[in-house]
Structure 1
Amino acid sequence: MPHDFNQQVIEEFRANKGRVGGPFEGGRLLLLTTIGARSGRPHTTPVAYLPDGDRVLVIASAAGSPKHPAWFHNLVAHPEVTVEAGAFTYPARAVVLEGEERDRAFARAVDADPGWASYQERTERVIPVVALYEITQGPPQVNASSMGEAIKVVHDAFRRELALIRDEMAKGGSTGSTLGAQLRVNCLTFCQGLHNHHTGEDTALFPFLADRHPGHAPVLARLREEHERIAELVERLRRAVGEDGAAGEPEDARAEVARLTAELEAHLTYEEEQLIPLLDAAAG
């Protein structure tokens, strides 16, 4: 039965570019493919994850069972894994966190969702935390069949993450009065990802389109200006959440997320309206 359930989640995840319903709806989920420690065959498992800057963290809780999940044994034996994150698929190197680093990461997970603590209480084993580092092999593979679809898929991933951050802020974190440690990391990771995406557009995509569609220069100029405005809002959010561990004020952070959400949604929608037809025409 667990295998059948996992397979349904995997199929839904892939069909909807990372969007799923049921118990995983509204959460952060990725598909982790490991190589069987004994069989040598690939195994794909849906797992929850935590953003953590240039890496993601997965927790081998197995819902508090007395044994580590099979995927954990697999990645210990074969640390090179494949991550499907909705918009992107990429190879990664798995590193099991130890000591204080593991404890800090697990505490952040509990700060974001106390359910992790209940899993630890159910078992005598120390639940492992694993960091997944992308193995850079050029640009990440976008899970899309065309350049136009790729833009929409990446944009939707940003929309989902920002919606999650808004929801987490609305709940007030685990204490209700402070900006949780993991929520701060989520915000900063989102900010960095958005910066990287816009930098890639400014340096690669927009020059490509300008060369082939000179009549769209005003559109590209507007998009670049919007990137600058969004970068200002991102910097304001960084300050509001307390970058480098400084204490941030929850109300300030909520206000900055609301401003960023409004401007970013308008920008993404305009970009899709203007650029998807150009990109699809270029591929035709």
Structure 2
Amino acid sequence: MPNPFNQQIIEEFRTNGGRVGGPFEGARLLLLTTTGARTGTPHTTPVAYYPDGADRVLVIASAGGSPQHPDWYRNLLAHPRVTVENGVFTYEAEALVLEGAERDDVFARAVEADPGWAEYQAKTERVIPVVALREIPVAGPPSFAASSPGEAVKLVHRAFRRELALIRQEFAASGTALGAQLRINCLTLCQGLHLHHTGEDTALFPFAAGRDPGLAPALDRLRDEHERIAALLEELRRAVSAEDADPRTVLTEVDRLTGELEAHLAHEEEILVPVLEAASASAS
């Protein structure tokens, strides 16, 4: 029987493109759908996650420090193929339970980012599992949680804005040390933005130009903005990757990127969304 609390979060998550209120407001949250170990039926659970590169995320089977593993964890042990919804995309993933030193290193990263994980571990005798969810590549366009191409662009942009806001909050709470997970959050953001802009340069911008040749000057300006953002991403990568990285220096680069990116996203939506909506309307 569905958990009413979880069901409310699931509905809010899907309605608002991954944004929820209450105890999970401002958290990195995904919807994880597993196949029941005994029943074979799908079960969807909201789960907190950590970024870990462009193609995988990390989830922790804490169950609040319960003596038993959560149901979703037992399900994925039996059926490692799962479905992930992140508010923008829905994709299939392979679940891999981390073992040994890799598990310990990732859990230590999580504890450094949020000491609550250590409190959960102290409450139970079981070793709390850490699971990597690696996206399974598929041919064709991604599955967007959007009703139209224009809305898909806005959803992606909203996700980048939200991630930047979270990273800035994490810097505010980090003090004088730059934690390992915060470094990875920054580097994953850089990877994601690079891939997003590469896709726009090679596919979306040529499509828009084909729909309206008069957009050429505006698209050239957007490409120039991509180049400026790429330079800022490189500066952020350098600052984060330095062995003696200073959080104040890194935050300065995050702030520079945020200012440039906010202006770019707003400009891009102004140019591209009407073209994509018109194309969608003519195709329907």
TM-score, length basis structure 1: 0.97
Which residue number corresponds to residue 7 of structure 2?
A: 7
How far off its partner does 1:209 sit? 1.0
Tell whether 2:225 aligns with 1:226.
yes
2:169 counterpart residue number: 167
Instruction: Provide runs of 4+ in structure 1 moved above 6 Å.
Output: none
Partner of 2:146: 144
CA distance in 1 between partners of 2:95 and 2:251 (Å): 34
Aligned to 1:116: 117
Q: Show the 5 A alignment for 1:84-99.
A: 84-99=85-100
SS of residue matched to 1:248: coil
Residue number in structure 1 paired with 2:206: 207
Match of 2:24 in 1: 24
Q: 1:126: which partner in 2?
A: 127
d(CA) in 2 for partners of 1:283, 1:35? 35
Aligned to 1:283: 280
Superposition deviation, residue 241 in structure 1: 1.1
Aligned length: 279
1:105-148, CA deviations, whole angstroms, 9 ceiling, x for partnerless residues? 00010111010010000000000000000011133211111110
**Cα distance in 1 for residues equivalent to 2:161 and 2:126:** 37
Partner residue in 2 for 1:255:
252
Question: Residue 50 of structure 1: CA displacement?
Answer: 0.4
Structure 2: runs of 5+ lacking an equivalent = none
Fraction of identical pairs, as percent: 71
Q: Name the SS of the counterpart of 1:39 in structure 2.
A: coil
Are the aligned partners of 1:241 and 1:247 in contact in 2 as well (CA < 8 Å)? no
- Give the corresponding residue for 1:104: 105
Question: Could you say which residue in structure 2 is the equivalent of 1:240?
Answer: 239
Q: 2:266 aligns with which of 258, 264, 269?
A: 269
Alignment equivalent of 1:157, drawn from 156, 159, 170: 159
The DSSP-based 3-state class of the residue aligned with 2:268 is helix
Q: Which digits, 9 at most, give the CA deviation of each residue in 1:128-173, with x for residues without a partner? A: 00000001113321111111001000000101101000110111x2
**What runs of 5+ residues in structure 1 fail to find an aligned partner?**
none
What is the deviation of 1:96? Answer: 0.2
Helix, strand or coil: the match of 1:274? Answer: helix
